[in-house]
Amino acid sequence: MSVHGHRRHHHTAGGINLTGLIDVTFQLIIFFVLAGTFAAAERMDLTPPTLEGTEHLADLKLPAPLVVQVAPYPPERIAEADILRGAASIWRVGAAELPPGDTAGLLAALRRAREAFAARAGDGAALEVEVRADRSILYSQVEPVLACVAQAGFERVHYVAMGSEVH
């Protein structure tokens, strides 16, 4: 015995009991080995279907959609007369320009475009219409355009709200 009362300390590696850590690591290794084995056993060999008649798909010419634009007034005009905010300044169907509210002219232009497309592409093809409008335009200004598109007999219609002025 020593006079000073020192006790002996037994130090393990770093002073930490590693038994639990080794057990958990071993369990994780076993889990992932078994999970990988079961996943490989459940994997089925699939044969993807073959598509016939798609050799010349890149050569297929799809018609571009007919674009109908509902354009707002320029910012300068809105600054002069605030009442123009949210109003449409012009309707464009392809290259034709119509004043807003001219639903008869719009309907006639849409029907002409549909007939020209049918003469070119045949009766079975469907022409798509894309109605583009600025986000600042009120729905009441766009609704007559949508009504004319439906009245003209178009079945595939897309509506695009542009972030800024439609050119």
Residue type, 103: T
Q: What is the 3-state secondary structure (H, E, C) of 101-146?
A: CCHHHHHHHHHHHHHHHHHHHCCCCCCEEEEEEECCCCHHHHHHHH
Give the domain ranges of the chain. 57-162
What predicted TM-score, i.e. pTM, was given to this entire model? 0.55
Per-residue pLDDT of the chain (167 residues; tens, 9 = 90+): 555 555 555 555 567 888 999 999 999 999 999 988 887 777 766 676 676 665 665 555 556 778 888 888 777 777 777 777 777 777 888 778 888 888 888 888 888 888 888 777 766 567 788 888 888 888 888 888 889 889 988 888 888 887 754 44
